A = this chain, B = another copy of it.
Amino acid sequence: MTQVSTASPDQPRQYQHTLSNGLTLLAEFIPNLRSAAMTLVVPGGAASDPDDCSGAATVLSDWLLRGAGSRDSRALTGYLDGLGVQRGSQAETSFIRFSASMLSKNLLSVLPVYADIVQRPQLPTEGFEPAKDLALQQLASIEDEPSHKLSILLRERHYPWPFGRPTLGVAAQLEAMTADALRGDYARRFTPRGSILSVAGNFDWATLKATVESAFGGWAEKPVVAPTARQPETGISHVRQETNQVQIGLAYDSVPESHAESLLAQTALNVLSGGMGARLFMEIREKQGLCYSVHAGYHSLKNRAAVFGYSGTAPERAQRTLDSFIVELKRLAQGITADELERARISMKSRVIMQGESSGARAGALVYDFYHRGRTRTLADLKGQIESITLDAVNAHLAKNPVGQLTVVTIGPEPLKVNL
C-alpha cells in the first residue's frame, strides 16, 4: 500500500508504504537539502524487557552494532564512518531507536546496513560483556547526577509498570544477564510488524521504496510482544542524599498524543513552560528568584501521557519552590488569556517551521506522528492545526482536566511537605 500526500512541487512531499511483513516506510522529500536523515524504530523497548531482565533493550542497542550481515564490528563501524554517517542507537520505553544523518547521496548505501543490523546481527560472544559493562557503567554514573536520577525515579513511580521501567535497567539484573538469554530475547522481540522506518531529505521515492523492499522485505514476521500494565506507585517519595541542591520532580496525567485534545494540552504546557515569558520561568525564576532551573514538559506514550515537571534549588528555598510550582499547576484550571494563547501559537509555529529545515527533526517527527496518530502530518497540516486552536477550546480542556493527583519525588538532605 502506497500513499502520497498532495503538495505543490516546491513544497515537502510525503510518502507512505507498508511492506507485506508489516514494516511501515515513511518519507518526506525536502527540496534543496543535501542531507538525508533516517530513523528506524523496532518495538523492543524497555517496556517489553523480560520481567526479570531490566536493561535488556539497552544492552541490545549496543550489542546489535557489533557486527551485522557479513561485516564484523570493526568493518561495520569502518563502513559507516567511511560514508560520514552520524548515528546513534538507544533503548526507549516502547522502541529501540536507530538514528542516522548523512549526505543524501549515501542514503541508499546506508539503509541495507540497518537492514542487516535488525535482521542479521552477529551478536558476537566477545562483544557481549563489553556491551553489558557499558550499560552497568552508565547506570553507575547516574548516582553522580541527581537531576538525571530524579527523572528516572519520577517516571518509574508515575507510569504504571512496565511503562515507567528505567531503560538503563537494574544493576543486579544486568549482571545476571547472559549472552544466550539476550540472543533469545532479540529473536523474540525484533519483528517488522510495528517497526517504522522514516527518511527525510533528498531522495527519489521509487528508488527508495525499491531499496527498502529489497533490504527489509525478507524480514520474517512474528507475533508482537505486547506488555500489560500494573498499578503505578505514584504518591510522594523522598530520597535522602547529601546533595548541594534539592531536586524536585512532579508528574500528573495528561491526554495522550492520539487524543483529540492533545494539541490543547500541549498549548497549555507551552503557556506554562514554553519559553522565557512562560509562567513557571517568569513567576518562579524571574520574579521570585527561587531557582535557576524550572520547567515542565509533555510526554506521551501510546495510550497514556503525563506532564513531568522539574526544578533544582537551594535547600532553604526548596519548600517555597515546590509550593509555587504547585500553585502554577493548579492555576491552569482557571484557563489562559488570549495574549498567552497568541504567544504560544507563535512559538509553536516558529518551531514547526524551523524544524522543517532539519532532516533529522523531520525523520523523527514522521515516526512520532505515525506511531501516535496513525498518520503523518505535513508542515502545512501542523501549521493549520496550530492556527485553528481557540481560546475557548483550550480553557474548556483545562477546566475539564484540572491537575489532579500529583506524583512527587524529591532528592536532597530533607523531605519537603507537599501542600496540595
Contact = CB atoms under 8 A, between A and B. Distances in A.
Interface of A: 31-35, 65-66, 73-74, 77-78, 80-87, 101-103, 129-130, 133-134, 137-138, 140-141, 143-147, 243-245, 275-277, 282, 285-287, 289, 291-293, 312-314, 342-343, 346-347, 349-351, 353-354, 356-359
A350 B103 CA distance: 7
A88 B262 CA distance: 29
Please indicate which of the listed interface residues A102, A277, A354 has the most CB atoms of chain B within 10 Å of its own CB. Answer: A354
A286 B73 contact: yes
Contacts of A354: 35, 86, 101, 103
A144 B411 CA distance: 11
B244 A140 contact: yes
A357 B34 contact: yes
Contacts of A353: 34-35, 103
A65 B342 CA distance: 22
14 contacts: A81-B276, A81-B277, A81-B347, A84-B346, A84-B347, A85-B350, A86-B275, A86-B350, A86-B351, A86-B354, A137-B291, A140-B245, A144-B147, A144-B244
B87 A276 contact: yes
Contact of A358 (B78, B85, B138, B358): B358
A362 to B, nearest CB: 12
B342 A82 contact: yes
A358 B37 CA distance: 14
Contact of A82 (B314, B346, B349): B346
A34 to B, nearest CB: 5
Contacts of A350: 84-86, 102-103
B346 A140 contact: no
Contacts of A292: 134, 137-138, 141
Contacts of A287: 130
Nearest to A33: B357
A244 to B, nearest CB: 4
A285 to B, nearest CB: 7
Across the A-B interface, give the 3 residue pairs with the lowest CB-CB distance, nearest first. A84-B350, A130-B289, A143-B244
Given A82-B342, A87-B276, A357-B34, A289 B140 contact: no
A276 B347 CA distance: 36
A250 B185 CA distance: 40
Contacts of A359: 357
Contacts of A243: 144
Contacts of A80: 276
A150 to B, nearest CB: 11
Contacts of A277: 74, 77-78, 81
Nearest to A143: B244
Contacts of A102: 350
A141 B73 contact: no
A357 B313 contact: no
A141 B150 CA distance: 14
Contacts of A32: 31-32
Contacts of A82: 342-343, 346
A33 B356 CA distance: 10
Contacts of A77: 276-277, 282
Contact of A343 (B33, B65, B81, B86): B81
A33 B85 CA distance: 24
Contacts of A356: 34
Contacts of A103: 350, 353-354
Nearest to A355: B35
